[in-house]
Amino acid sequence: MTTVPAVPATPGAPAAPPSTPSSTAAGGRPLRPSRPDAGPARLLGRGLGYAAMVLAAAVILLPFAWMVISSLKNNNQVFTVPVQWVPDPVVWQNYVDIWSRSDMTTWLKNTLVLSVAVTFLQVVTGSFAAYGFSKMHFPGRDVLFLAYVGTIAVPWQSYMIPQFIMLSNAGLSNTLWSIMALQAFSAFGVFLMRQYFETIPDSLCEAARIDGMSEYGIWRRIMLPLSVPAIASLTLLTFVNTWNDYLGPLIYLRSPELWTVQLGLKTFIGQYNAEHALIMTGSVLSVLPIALIFMLGQRYFVEGIATTGVKG
């Protein structure tokens, strides 16, 4: 590298073969998008890289594949020694039965309502509070923040009974409101957004203040647009956690018309018997919407969204 006179136009041209991890791992920057001189070695490297990633993907997806396979079996074929990877016969009936034999539609609807409501409240109130914790300075701020983070360290199952007694006395148990209340104000969202706001320079807020913008305006017009990636990750994580939550609905939701998917699927487990194939069918159906939402949401993790604003 040192002996070859570097062409100034390609300062980042790596001396090492392009497939070495160090050149790609450097901050995960995209490789120059259009490089006309892509040699065969480069293509080979890229091909090998893809092959490795596809292989890794297959291994990572194995449990999901097992879920799909099990959903196409009879009950007594789900757990066998050795594992039967090809269902025989293929039981498509499970995908019919789950709709006719259970209230899957209601469960999905409830789960969706809860996930959307919780996510919305969490993102709005969390980012709002995070602004206070990050960009405002007032006495007691740090102690209060530590109290927020501290409660994360207390396992929920240790205080869920006192909490349940409280919410029951307030008449909220056995309503969807209880789950919304429970999940929407968690310290996690505040912490996540606050840390992200910390990376946005105060100079931007200063400038806006000088321009006469109110603090609320700064939150709305500067901080939010600049933190799209953080909002995206908070949205996805909150959504998934609410969608897959089991213990909360278990304690709070008694009426079948309020059940979520995770709770409803448990009705296939009886005292002495469990319909494993149907449970897996339901689990597959339950994963698909989240996978779709993730596919759509992940495009907000594109470099540039956050930094363009800073440049201006």
By CB under 8 A, what part of segment 72-131 binds other proteins? 74-83, 101-102, 124-126, 128-129, 131
CA distance 90 to 77: 11
Minimal distance, residue 301 CB to other proteins, in Å: 4
Minimal distance, residue 245 CB to other proteins, in Å: 11
- Which is closer to other proteins, CB of 36 or CB of 255? 255
Single out the segment in contact with other proteins by CB under 8 A; choices: 37-45, 59-67, 92-100, 110-118: 59-67
Question: Which residue, among 56, 38, 54, 46, has the nearest Cα to 20 in the 3D structure?
Answer: 46
Question: Which residue, among 80, 75, 24, has the nearest Cα to 49 in the 3D structure?
Answer: 24
Amino acid present at 118: V
Which two tokens mark 305? Answer: 């969204």
Residue by residue, DSSP assigns 272-290 as S-B-HHHHHHHHHHHHHHH
CA distance 72 to 297: 30
Q: Which of 38, 198, 221, 257 binds other proteins (CB under 8 A)?
A: 198
Minimal distance, residue 97 CB to other proteins, in Å: 12
Minimal distance, residue 186 CB to other proteins, in Å: 7
Minimal distance, residue 113 CB to other proteins, in Å: 18
* Region of residue 177 (left: phi > 0; alpha: psi -120 to 50; beta: else): alpha
Minimal distance, residue 55 CB to other proteins, in Å: 11
CA distance 291 to 297: 10
Report the site for other proteins in 250-279 (rule: CB under 8 A): 250-251, 254, 256, 263, 266-276, 279
Site string for other proteins, 12-51 (x = CB under 8 A): x-x-----x-xxxxxxxxxx-x----------------x-
Single out the segment in contact with other proteins by CB under 8 A; choices: 36-44, 92-100, 106-114, 230-238: 230-238
CA distance 232 to 221: 17
Amino acid present at 67: M
Q: How far is CA 290 from CA 21, 135, 167, 234, in A?
A: 31, 33, 29, 14
Q: Which of 3, 100, 105, 169 binds other proteins (CB under 8 A)?
A: 169
Report the site for other proteins in 131-160 (rule: CB under 8 A): 131-133, 135-141, 143-144, 146-155, 157-160
